[in-house]
Amino acid sequence: MRSFTVDEITQIVGGMLSKFESPEITHLAPPLLSDEYTLALALGEDEIANLSKSKAKAALVPLGVQIEGLTTIEVERPRLAMMKLLNLFYVPPVVNKDIHPTAVVDPSAKLGANVCIGPNVVIGAEAVIGDNTKIIANSYIGSGVKIGTNCFFHPGVNIGDRVQIGNDVILNHGVSLGADGFSFVTENPNNIENARQDGKIKQDNSNQVIFKIPSIGSVIIGNNVEIGANTTIDRGTIENTVVGDNTKIDDLVMIGHNCRIGKGCLIVSQVGIAGSCVIGDRVVIAGQAGLADHIEIGADTIITAKAGVTKSFPEKSIIVGIPAVPRKDFIKQLKTMKDAQEIFAKFRKFEPLLKEFEEAHQEVK
């Protein structure tokens, strides 16, 4: 069990120490779950209030918070400090050394120094895997795949042929990179084409045949990218699907063929991005948002949860609603709805007078 003094922790997080006791810290927890050997993480108002009920002798708190009789480490950015501490106490998954006997590695594959290949992993022909990369059990690496250095693939990762992955990439359980794109064509205009052009569906398409368009492009993942469990990124039709450096993608995200995702983006769980979208750098897409195909989102934009994005937006937009609009327009819509309710209420109040007026006016005629 690892342990640290409060002085060591203060130095690691760059905090300011107010010391009443000097407990050895072996755990991290919220205040109500802390004991005398735990550093209580009181990052917000509720957790700070709970310190009075905690058994902890030391706490990490925001700058300016001091508790009489409790050792506190004050930090300017509590969440950043928490990240540093979690890295101290994090226990990585157990990884076998070298190549497991049940792994199948094609003779033409090239493995760098200190590469670890787990049970039942398959490495395809002419694949290249960089130094210190670790691939855990039951993963598939296709032919011609290039993987950089210091990567970590959790169990059940599937990488299609010719995919390129940069350095320091983390792929969580069940990630799929490089499956065929969802791309089809019909001999005659289909319902979608008709609806887009005419706004209605006219033809009888009961005998229509749908032809698959194969994807001959691939997927390129930049450096220092993390992709969450069961996320899928399809290969491009002709060009490559691209994810830029330092982008972080949550679980259960779907990114379609030909998309280009910028650098430093945050894409939250259950987002769906249709094919051929261009996402600028540092874009944040919140949970369950959906993006239609062939649209562009400018850099430093925020797309809020469950937004239905059907058109392109410029940089530094804040996008809200279904269909999605700029935040200021969404607020106007809400105000208009509220005003309409008030107007309707007034109308109902004076409706009897209006009827009397109409009846009197008809009698005059």
pLDDT of amino acid 144: 97
pLDDT of amino acid 214: 92
pLDDT of amino acid 364: 55
pLDDT of amino acid 255: 98
Please, what are the averages of pLDDT over each run of 10 residues along the chain (365 residues)? Answer: 90 93 92 95 94 94 92 95 92 87 97 96 98 96 98 97 98 97 85 75 78 94 98 96 98 98 98 97 97 97 96 96 85 76 77 75 62
pLDDT of amino acid 220: 98
Give the rounded distance of the alpha carbon of 243 from its chain centre.
Answer: 12
Report the alpha-carbon distance of residue 232 to residue 251 in Å, rounded.
Answer: 9
One of 27, 173, 257, 294 is an active-site residue; which one?
Answer: 257
pLDDT of amino acid 145: 98
Find the helix packing angle between 78-89 and 6-13, rounded to 10°.
120
Name the one residue in this structure whose structure tokens are 């640290």: 4
257 part of the active site? yes
Predicted structure pTM score: 0.85
256, 278 contact by CB (below 8 A): no
